[in-house]
Structure 1
Amino acid sequence: MTRSEHPTPAATPRTRAKARHILDNYYIGPARDPDVLEIWGYTEHISYAPGDTVQLRVSTTADRWELEVGRDGSRYEPKLSEVGLRGTHQDTPVDCSVRGCDWESSYDFLIPEDWPAGGYLITLRAERDGDRVEEHHMFLLRRSEVPAPYVLICATGTWLAYNCWGGSNHYEGITGPEGNAFSPVVSTQRPWTRGFCKLPEGAPRAVPEVPHVPRAMVRYPYMEWAYAYGYSKKYASAGWAGYERHFARWAEAQGYALDFATQHDLETDPDLLSRYKCAIFVGHDEYWSANMRMTVDEYTEAGGKVARFGGNFLWQTRIEDGGHTQVCYKYDAENDPLVGSDQEHLVTTAWEASPVGWPGTKTFGVNGLQGMYAGLGRCVGQGSGGFTVYRPQHWAFENAQIGYADQLGAGSRIFGYEVDGVDYRMEDGLPFVTGADGADPAIEILAMGLATHVEPDHGLWGETVYIGDTDAHYKARVLLGEETPEAVDRSTRGNGAIVSWKRGKGEVFTAGTCEWVMGLTRRDWQVEQVTRNVLDRFGA
């Protein structure tokens, strides 16, 4: 999500005997109370390779704790377990979300050479006086020395932006003069918030399973569920459990061999993608650094294939402190210390905005500010939930039994909650890119849906507008240079697009939506067929 969210009413945390999880309207974090049974942990890095040593940093109020590490694939495979580990309660700085927890290592283990690539779930359990608590962390294991045809790049920039553990993220928190301001600086050196690594089956999505009913009060089931069960309300916006895990499990079950890496790996290893035929990006894919993006651009121009089943390509970030810190000033970009410097092109603002001026169309064929919300609350709340197909003869739709104007993915609600779009014109019933937003005229628009930057307020008594018009004003300011009523009105409308593009020696397929993975998890056979068509062509 792209807005600085309004404060929401505090909720009472769920309790199990004496165990409780700190949850208020901003964050989950340490209780800082020895009487509260808790356990939290994190690792220095987000991804590792076989032969690496993982230093697990754990803080618990229990005398003893236990550990399980397992591969979270199409089936869960336990790989390592320990019991009776001595517990230590480690001091946590108040501003740990900004500068890190600085905990000592509690348990080290060497990753065996025979562990396969994938997402690895770390389960931490502690018990005291009959009470029991469980929390989770995770890491990615890459095996680049024996590359698979495909590499799934996890959106760790977005994970960091939404991670509210300890106080602040890129949306809200304990920082600022009134204690509820987003932090432009966030640290990797802290646990992931509850719901990023593991979720119960059936946890609600940001896009509800059915459209909004007119005259009824708008609902946000995922936030209601999060408050009721002690999860972060951000679980539906980012994290392994909500997005990449769904794609990885589906692909493995279908027989596709994936390697795994992170956006942070793209930052440090610009040659990483050259080992693979196809780079895959899925889910909510909002925050990128310039180095990450240049790695993808160079790969594609040299002949690499890019399959992006993700949406909301919006903010430039900077990675600092050896990868431990992410910087993004967003709406307050004028306060970025690089403004006015010879590095002004690295100011952390929207890609399309000045002084960056590097539209997402140049990399993935679509832009974040050209798209935005669909299926979230009243934002296109009564939409079909799918894409309208315009070019059914394209190779991506082969054997999917799709015709002109058919809805792709409506039954599985794949369109939302944030989408990426492109400036277009209609000619004889077909959309064509205009190029006004930096899009290459060679880009083909295969399918589209409509999106908005404004949540309408119908004046229903007791209802609070959640999204409002903040984003429309921002878009008007940075793209049109003014916030007049006319400019804001022009900025309310957007779209989400599926595009295909032969770029340089390579090729790009983009389905600009966060929720494409729901078409796979919910076994929408047409969405599955399109996904197979893309992977089979790009991995051949």
Structure 2
Amino acid sequence: MGSEQIRRWESGALAHAVTDPFGQGPVPWLRGGETYFGDSGQVVPWYAEPEPDPTPERRGGTRAQHTRLRPRTGHSTGGFPRAADDVSLQIKGFASTGAVAPGEAIDFHVTVDPPQEFSVDVYRIGHYGGDGAAKITTSPRLSGLVQPAPLTADRTVSCHHWWLSWRLQIPSFWNIGAYVAVLTTADGCRSHVPFTVRDDHPADLLLLLPDITWQAYNLYPEDGRTGASLYHAWDEKGRLLGESEAATTVCFDRPYAGAGLPMHVGHAYDFIRFAERYGYDLAYADARDLHAGRVDPTRYRGLVFPGHDEYWSAAMRRTTERARDHGTSLVFLSANTLYWQVELAPSPSGAPDRLLTCRKRRGPGKPVLWREIERAEQELIGIQYAGRVPEPHPMIVRNAGHWLWEATGAHEGDEIEDLVAGEADRYFPRTALPGHEERVLLAHSPYTDVEGVVRHQETSLYRAPSGSWVFASGTFAWTPALDRPDHIDERVQRATANLLDRICKRD
């Protein structure tokens, strides 16, 4: 392979950028953080260079005030950090567990090439006056080494044999939440490792980070040779293969591709910044916590699934259905939720839930789509996956007199610009609905699919016999409208607040 081909993989987003039309947005925990002086003399964030938006648009009645930011690539000449990649592997790492409680420890396994010192800055995601995160602690200077090459078996890539690089003891006084460890070498290369701090304290809302779906999309190492996800792998000529040749099992014991951030992670962080800005009482957990029974969702007034949450185990679904039937509300803020069935197994070292299997279409076997075993996702969510949306389309408001749209300024038939994007859900009339006392569709929005056929998206809300509410936005674009620069929409913010307020008050 020539170097020009290799550079295609360095973004860490080659395979699925189309399914996240917003990208990650500006790196959310560094909005107000480290900066440098650009060519114009203006101070700009290290990770981006400004690109003026030639067509400012009105969103939610106000003009967007944010400059578009274009991620920097290549080597630095100005002394600011640059993103590591999966070809050179300047610095890459992963954590020994997804979620950890205060008082416990989390281990980081890091490779550094060329070997040199590195440090770890730990950030907590939140609003923090608009910064997007706060730096919580910094490691001492650590000795970096080149770890062994990943092990592969039937396209499953694992780095479970990497040496321990740093152990972080979580102090008892740390706030629960979504965290990111930012790894930086002495010569200025940077990568990331997300993790969660959780505990059992009571809260109104339990936020569930979709780490299972994040791993399903992880193509690490995205180098044109070795990496594999549940979607893609490479052939011997460096060509990207499709699902029929992809991995059936992927491992959590490896870094995330590119700069170390999972695909779609920004959707969860958008909601976190919004919810913490307005003071909602949140607890945190990962999808694997839900799977393993480490959290009791019936203790909360609502479960929030903030990001793309496509891959579910039977235990996850069973526990979520039990929570709904107990009176716990469910909030699905993305689309294409609960689509594939998966299984979780221990790693070769015996650590639980480190191997993720989804058999998809390779060879004979039982169906792996929930809807193929007569347990369609609509029976829980109220709507279900309809397809991809290649270009953003407006969401068309329906039933504008409903309390969800109260005080939003939205009227029947209003268009909320670009709110149908990425992927879309709708109501399937021939598929069973969940039991309900009341049900309403709050948007009905035409869009053109990848084949040029006009389809439609819908947003759903129903009330279960237990009294719980189940909301599904039916689009990838809902959470970016909550707190992502250049995508914020005040109508979506108000509608989301109406929903969460009602859930928290048990109204």
TM bucket, shorter chain: 0.7 to 0.9
Structure 1 323/494 Cα, relative in aligned 2: closer, same or farther at 3 Å? farther
Residue 533 in 1 paired to residue 488 in 2? no
After TM superposition, the structure 1 = structure 2 runs for residues 108-257 of structure 1, keeping only pairs within 5 Å, are 108-127=167-186, 131-144=187-200, 146-166=201-221, 167-174=227-234, 180=241, 181-195=245-259, 197=261, 238-240=263-265, 242-257=266-281
Residue 509 in 1 paired to residue 471 in 2? yes
**Residue by residue, what CA displacement relative to the aligned partner does 1:459-511 show, whole Å, maximum 9, x if unpaired?**
xxxxxxxxxxxxxxxxxxxxxxxxxxxxxxxxx66432111111231221111
Residue number in structure 2 paired with 1:260: 284
Q: Please tell me whether the aligned partners of residues 64 and 87 of structure 1 are also in contact (alpha carbons under 8 angstroms).
A: yes
Structure 1 66/172 Cα, relative in aligned 2: closer, same or farther at 3 Å? same
Secondary structure of 1:299's counterpart equals: helix
Residue 84 in 1 paired to residue 141 in 2? yes
Aligned mates of 2:106, 2:305 — CA distance in 1:
25
1:417 counterpart letter in structure 2: G
1:420 counterpart letter in structure 2: D
1:530 counterpart letter in structure 2: A
**Residue by residue, what CA displacement relative to the aligned partner does 1:368-398 show, whole Å, maximum 9, x if unpaired?**
2xx1122x2xxxx3x6x33222211212111
Residue number in structure 1 paired with 2:92: 40
Residue number in structure 1 paired with 2:126: 73
Residue number in structure 2 paired with 1:417: 422
Q: Which of these residues, 41, 46, 51, is aligned with residue 103 of structure 2? A: 51
Residue 285 in 1 paired to residue 309 in 2? yes
Structure 1 251/21 Cα, relative in aligned 2: closer, same or farther at 3 Å? closer
TM-score, with structure 2 as normaliser:
0.75
Structure 2: which 5+ runs fail to align?
11-72, 222-226, 347-351
Residue 15 in 1 paired to residue 63 in 2? no
Secondary structure of 2:212's counterpart equals: helix
Aligned mates of 1:307, 1:17 — CA distance in 2:
42
**Residue by residue, what CA displacement relative to the aligned partner does 1:218-240 show, whole Å, maximum 9, x if unpaired?**
xxxxxxxxxxxxxxxxx6xx342
1:170 counterpart letter in structure 2: L
Structure 1 253/372 Cα, relative in aligned 2: closer, same or farther at 3 Å? same
Residue 319 in 1 paired to residue 344 in 2? yes
Q: CA deviation at 1:533?
A: 0.4
Structure 1 195/503 Cα, relative in aligned 2: closer, same or farther at 3 Å? farther
Residue number in structure 1 paired with 2:112: 60
Residue number in structure 2 paired with 1:486: none
Q: Please tell me whether the aligned partners of residues 82 and 190 of structure 2 are also in contact (alpha carbons under 8 angstroms).
A: no
Aligned mates of 1:261, 1:252 — CA distance in 2:
16
Residue number in structure 2 paired with 1:473: none
**Residue by residue, what CA displacement relative to the aligned partner does 1:97-118 show, whole Å, maximum 9, x if unpaired?**
7242021211112101111111
Secondary structure of 1:165's counterpart equals: coil
Aligned mates of 1:30, 1:52 — CA distance in 2:
34
Secondary structure of 2:419's counterpart equals: coil
Q: Please tell me whether the aligned partners of residues 302 and 504 of structure 1 are also in contact (alpha carbons under 8 angstroms).
A: no
1:439 counterpart letter in structure 2: L
Q: Please tell me whether the aligned partners of residues 142 and 260 of structure 1 are also in contact (alpha carbons under 8 angstroms).
A: yes
Q: CA deviation at 1:185?
A: 0.9
Q: Please tell me whether the aligned partners of residues 335 and 474 of structure 2 are also in contact (alpha carbons under 8 angstroms).
A: yes
Residue 365 in 1 paired to residue 382 in 2? yes
Q: Please tell me whether the aligned partners of residues 414 and 517 of structure 1 are also in contact (alpha carbons under 8 angstroms).
A: no
Secondary structure of 2:492's counterpart equals: helix
The total of aligned residue pairs comes to 408
Q: Which of these residues, 425, 434, 438, is aligned with residue 432 of structure 2? A: 438
Residue 328 in 1 paired to residue 383 in 2? no
**Residue by residue, what CA displacement relative to the aligned partner does 1:255-290 show, whole Å, maximum 9, x if unpaired?**
112111111111001752122111111232211112
Q: CA deviation at 1:91?
A: 0.2
Secondary structure of 1:250's counterpart equals: helix
Residue 519 in 1 paired to residue 484 in 2? no
CA RMSD of aligned residues (A): 2.6
Residue number in structure 1 paired with 2:31: none
After TM superposition, the structure 1 = structure 2 runs for residues 459-498 of structure 1, keeping only pairs within 5 Å, are 494-498=455-459
Q: Please tell me whether the aligned partners of residues 158 and 253 of structure 2 are also in contact (alpha carbons under 8 angstroms).
A: yes
Secondary structure of 2:141's counterpart equals: strand
Secondary structure of 1:331's counterpart equals: coil
Aligned mates of 1:82, 1:415 — CA distance in 2:
42
1:93 counterpart letter in structure 2: P
Structure 1 308/115 Cα, relative in aligned 2: closer, same or farther at 3 Å? same
Structure 1 306/196 Cα, relative in aligned 2: closer, same or farther at 3 Å? farther
Aligned mates of 2:497, 2:119 — CA distance in 1:
40
Is the deviation greater in 187-196 or in 111-120? 187-196
Q: Please tell me whether the aligned partners of residues 151 and 158 of structure 2 are also in contact (alpha carbons under 8 angstroms).
A: no
Structure 1 152/453 Cα, relative in aligned 2: closer, same or farther at 3 Å? same
Aligned mates of 1:156, 1:175 — CA distance in 2:
27
Secondary structure of 2:174's counterpart equals: coil
Q: CA deviation at 1:302?
A: 0.8
Aligned mates of 1:516, 1:175 — CA distance in 2:
37
1:448 counterpart letter in structure 2: H
Residue number in structure 2 paired with 1:343: none
Aligned mates of 1:20, 1:517 — CA distance in 2:
28
Q: Please tell me whether the aligned partners of residues 372 and 451 of structure 1 are also in contact (alpha carbons under 8 angstroms).
A: no
Structure 1 294/493 Cα, relative in aligned 2: closer, same or farther at 3 Å? farther
Aligned mates of 1:79, 1:330 — CA distance in 2:
41
